Amino acid sequence: MMSELLTVDVIKCHGTSNDFFVLDETAAILLPDPLKSAFTRLVSNRQGGLGADGVVFISAFDDHHPRMRFFNPDGSEAEMCGNGLRCAARACFEGHYKGQNPILFKTLGGDFKTENFFSEPYQLPFVRVTTDVLSTNPENILASRTRTPFLAQPFAVGAQTYVGTILSVGNPHLIVPVADLHAIDLMGLGHALENHPMFLNRANVSFVQVIQPHTILVQTYERGVGLTLACGTGMLASVVAQVLNGTVVNQEPVMVHTAGGIVWVTPSVTEGRLSAQLTGNATWVYRGKIPLRIQDDTLHFASPTVVEKEQVYTEEAAQYAKLASQTLFDRAILKGTSLEQGIISSR
C-alpha cells in the first residue's frame, strides 16, 4: 500500500454564517487538482469531518488578478459562490494582493469586483462584491436551451403549480416568491426543485418572502449542498428577480435577512443591463493546519486531532453574533430541517 503524508494550511471562515475553508495557493499548490474534490468532501462532512459549506481555492491569475475556484460539499465544482468570494477577497487583501483595493477576481462564472473595508457600525471586516454577469437568458440553465427569459412563469412540481424566475449570476438560480416561509416544505420542495427536469444541470433554489420594498427574507436550497444558512449569489438573484417582478426597490439597498444573518444588496436594473452589489461580512473563525494521508488514491485525516488550530478569532465571532442577532428571519422556519441547529462548525 502506497501512503503519503501532507499538511495543508487553511482558514476557516464564513460570510453570513455560510462557512468555508479557504486554501491560498497563490504562492504554491497545496493540493493537486485530482485531490481537490476528495479534500472538499472530507472536510465538509459535518458528521466525522470538520464541517463546511464548501472549499474556496485561491490562485494567482496574474500579478493583479486572483482566481477563485469553489467546490461544493459533494465535491462538485460550482461556477461561483458569493459568500465564498467575500472570504476569498479578504484573504487576498490581507495576503498575496495585500492592500490592493478593489480586487477583480476571475471565476468560472465570470469576473467579479471586490472591495474590502471595515464596517464601523458592526466592527467587522466587510466586502462589497459588484457583478454585472447577471442575466435573464436561461439558455445554459434550462434543458430546452431556450433564450426566452423565464420571469414569473408557472411550472409544475407533481400536482402543484408554482411561479418562479430564473436568473444566472454566473451560476443557475430559480427564485420562488412565497407568502410565508413557514408554510413551505423547504427540504422536500427544495430538493425537488434543485433536481427539476427542466434544468440542464440542476439549480440553486431560493424561496423569497417580501416584507417591505427594502426588506426581504430568503432561504436557499443550494445546488450540491442542500439548505444553507445563506447563499451569496442566491441573495443577489433574489433581489434582482424581485425588482424585475416589481416587489422591491431598484437602485437602493435592500436588506436581505437569512437564517445566517444580514447582507445588503443594491440592484441596478435598467433596459438591457442587470448589475448588483452584495455587501456583507467576511469573518475568520480560525487559522490552522490539516494533516492528511493519501493512501491508495484516497484521502484521509492523518491525525485524530483533525485540525491543528493556530489562531482562533473569538472577538470576530462575538462581533458577528451581534450582527446576526438582528436578522428578522424566524429560526422556527427551520424546525425539522437539516439546519435546525443552525450552528457554524467551530472544529
Q: Can you give the length of the chain in residues?
A: 347
Give the residue among 272, 218, 278, 271 at the shortest CA–CA distance from 242.
218
81 has catalytic annotation = yes
Peptide bond preceding 138: is omega within 30 degrees of 0, i.e. cis? no
For residue 171, count CB atoms less than 10 angstroms from its CB and return exposed for 0-12, middle for 13-18, buried for 19 or more.
Answer: buried
**The C-alpha cell of 140 is what?**
445554459
Q: What is the DSSP track for 241-271?
A: HHHHTTSS-SSS-EEEEETTEEEEEEEEEET
Which candidate in 13, 81, 87, 92 is catalytic? 81
CB 111 within 8 A of CB 97: no
SS3 314: helix
CB 87 within 8 A of CB 15: yes
Q: Where are the alpha helices (DSSP H) in the chain?
A: 33-44, 82-93, 186-194, 232-244, 314-324
Half-sphere exposure of 134 (CA within 13 A, CB side): 30
Which candidate in 13, 87, 92, 231 is catalytic? 231
Task: Name the residues annotated as catalytic.
Answer: 81, 231
